[in-house]
């Protein structure tokens, strides 16, 4: 009986030890599985209030490069580096405008070298009688036409002067284009320095030529049109109307009457008196002719100087039109359109952290 009880106790102890060992084994197995999940499968295991196991993916951080637009302060820093380059070249263009405008002014004034030859032709015997004849018979159109013809032959024609001025303007445009080409290269070099000097850190430029190309395109589209606009006005403008004003015409009549011996003080000379003087065989005094030419010469020279002043220095004269080229480039650089181009072509790179 005692042996049976002993055997039963040993059996139950064995069963108890087995159960305890099995429970320990299960716990160790679950622990191993948990560690494997965490270390190798990147999943967290958590126990809910109900005892259920929930698994969530572990998110790992990663840096991602993104690009943003320039801020106002960054844009200002970049533009302040480029502005001196633009200013240096536009100053050269401005000085060129003064130089070529003065060349046009000198060209017009130099035409006065032929004013004596013009006076000699006007006061020749044939033309003196012709002018007086037109005047006495009220043929103003023929009077003006003859005066213009002599002017064109001895001085210059409208077309002739316009062509000469056009050549100077074309030279100006070619010189400006050469300066803009140099500016284009200088701007590109400065932009490369902006990157290397880290004026704004971590910038990326899509097209290094975008700014200089835009300024060059703007000149080709607008600047030459601005300068040539005045030439169109000059072509439409009758130069002879400016120079040979009524005072010159009146001078020709007054001196012409004096030359044939009629009173220059009278405002009215009868046709019969004029015909009588001509019919009597006019002998024009050489001294009086030279005197008339000498008086007309400074009159023409003064008229040409005034015309040159109006053409070049007037409110909308050729000098102001030429100087608009540099002014337009500077204004263009400071425009919102250039700001937009800078922002669209220059981006700032930076990194953000994302979890995956």
Reply yes or no on whether the pLDDT at 80 is more than 90: yes
Secondary structure (H, E, C), 248-266: HHHHHHHHHHHHCCCCCCC
pLDDT in tens, 150-185: 988 998 887 888 888 888 988 998 899 899 989 988
Domain definitions of the chain by residue range: 2-58, 66-355
pLDDT in tens, 3-58: 555 555 565 567 766 677 777 776 777 776 766 665 655 444 444 455 554 555 66
Task: Compute CA distances 230 → 166, 172, 227, 267, 286, whole Å.
Answer: 10, 14, 6, 40, 44
Tokens of 308: 């040159």
Bridge partners for 55 per DSSP = 45
Of 225, 182, 191, residue with least CA distance to 211: 191
Reply yes or no on whether the pLDDT at 270 is more than 60: no
pLDDT in tens, 235-266: 545 565 666 655 677 788 787 777 666 554 44
pLDDT in tens, 109-158: 999 899 999 999 988 888 888 888 888 888 988 988 888 899 889 988 87
Reply yes or no on whether the pLDDT at 349 is more than 70: yes
Please state, as a whole number, how many other Cβ atoms lie within 10 Å of the Cβ of residue 269: 18
Q: Residue 184 and residue 209: Cα distance in Å, rounded?
A: 8
Specify the pTM: 0.71
Q: Average pLDDT, whole number, for the chain?
A: 77
Q: How confident is the model at residue 97 (pLDDT cuts 50, 70, 90)?
A: very high
**311-317 long-range contacts, CB within 8 A, separation 24+:** 311/104, 311/105, 311/108, 311/234, 312/101, 312/102, 312/104, 312/105, 312/108, 313/105, 316/230, 316/233, 317/101, 317/230
Secondary structure (H, E, C), the chain: CHHHHHHHHHHHHHHHHHHHHHHHHHHHHHHHHHHHHHHHCCEEEEECCCCCEEEEECCCEEEEEEEECCCHHHHHHHHHHHHHHHHHHHHHHHHHHHHHHHHHHHHHHHHHHHHHHHHHHHCCHHHHHHHHHHHHCCCHHHHHHHHHHHHHHHCCCHHHHHHHHHHHHHHHHHHHHHHHHHHHHHHHHHHHHHHHCCCCCCEEECCCCHHHHHHHHHHHHHHHHHHHHHHHHHHHCCHHHHHCCHHHHHHHHHHHHHHCCCCCCCCCCCHHHHHHHHHCCCCCCHHHHHHHHHHHHHHHHHHHHHHHHHHHHCCCCHHHHHHHHHHHHHHHHCCHHHHHHHHHHEEEEEEEEEEC
Bridge partners for 57 per DSSP = 43
More confident residue, 106 or 204: 106
Q: Residue 101 and residue 95: Cα distance in Å, rounded?
A: 10
């Amino acid at each position: 009986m005692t042996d049976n009880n002993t055997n039963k106790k040993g059996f139950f102890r064995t069963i108890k030890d087995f159960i305890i060992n099995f429970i320990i084994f299960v716990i160790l197995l679950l622990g191993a599985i948990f560690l494997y999940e965490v270390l190798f499968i990147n999943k967290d295991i958590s126990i809910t209030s109900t005892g259920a196991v929930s698994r969530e993916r572990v998110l790992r951080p990663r840096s991602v490069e993104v690009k943003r637009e320039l801020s106002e302060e960054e844009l200002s820093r970049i533009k302040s580096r480029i502005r001196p380059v633009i200013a240096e070249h536009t100053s050269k263009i401005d000085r060129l405008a003064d130089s070529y405008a003065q060349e046009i002014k000198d060209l017009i004034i130099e035409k006065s070298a032929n004013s004596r030859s013009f006076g000699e032709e006007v006061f020749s015997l044939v033309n003196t009688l012709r002018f007086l004849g037109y005047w006495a018979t009220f043929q103003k159109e023929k009077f003006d036409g003859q005066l213009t013809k002599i002017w064109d032959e001895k001085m210059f024609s409208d077309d002739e002067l316009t062509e000469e001025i056009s050549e100077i303007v074309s030279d100006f445009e070619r010189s400006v284009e050469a300066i803009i080409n140099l500016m284009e290269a200088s701007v590109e070099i400065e932009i490369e320095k902006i990157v290397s000097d880290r004026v704004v850190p971590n910038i990326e430029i899509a097209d290094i030529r975008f700014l200089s190309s835009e300024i060059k395109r703007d000149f080709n589209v607008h600047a030459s049109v601005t300068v040539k606009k005045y030439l169109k006005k000059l072509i439409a403008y009758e130069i002879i109307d400016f120079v040979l004003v009524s005072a010159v015409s009146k001078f020709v009549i007054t001196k012409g009457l004096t030359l044939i011996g009629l009173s220059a003080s009278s405002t009215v000379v009868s046709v019969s008196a004029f015909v009588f003087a001509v019919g009597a065989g006019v002998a024009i005094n050489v001294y009086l002719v030279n005197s008339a030419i000498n008086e007309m010469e400074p009159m023409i020279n003064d008229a040409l100087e005034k015309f040159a002043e109006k053409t070049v220095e007037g409110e909308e004269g050729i000098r102001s039109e030429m100087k608009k080229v540099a002014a337009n480039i500077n204004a263009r650089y400071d425009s919102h359109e250039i700001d937009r181009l800078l922002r669209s072509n220059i981006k700032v790179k930076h990194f953000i952290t994302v979890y995956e």
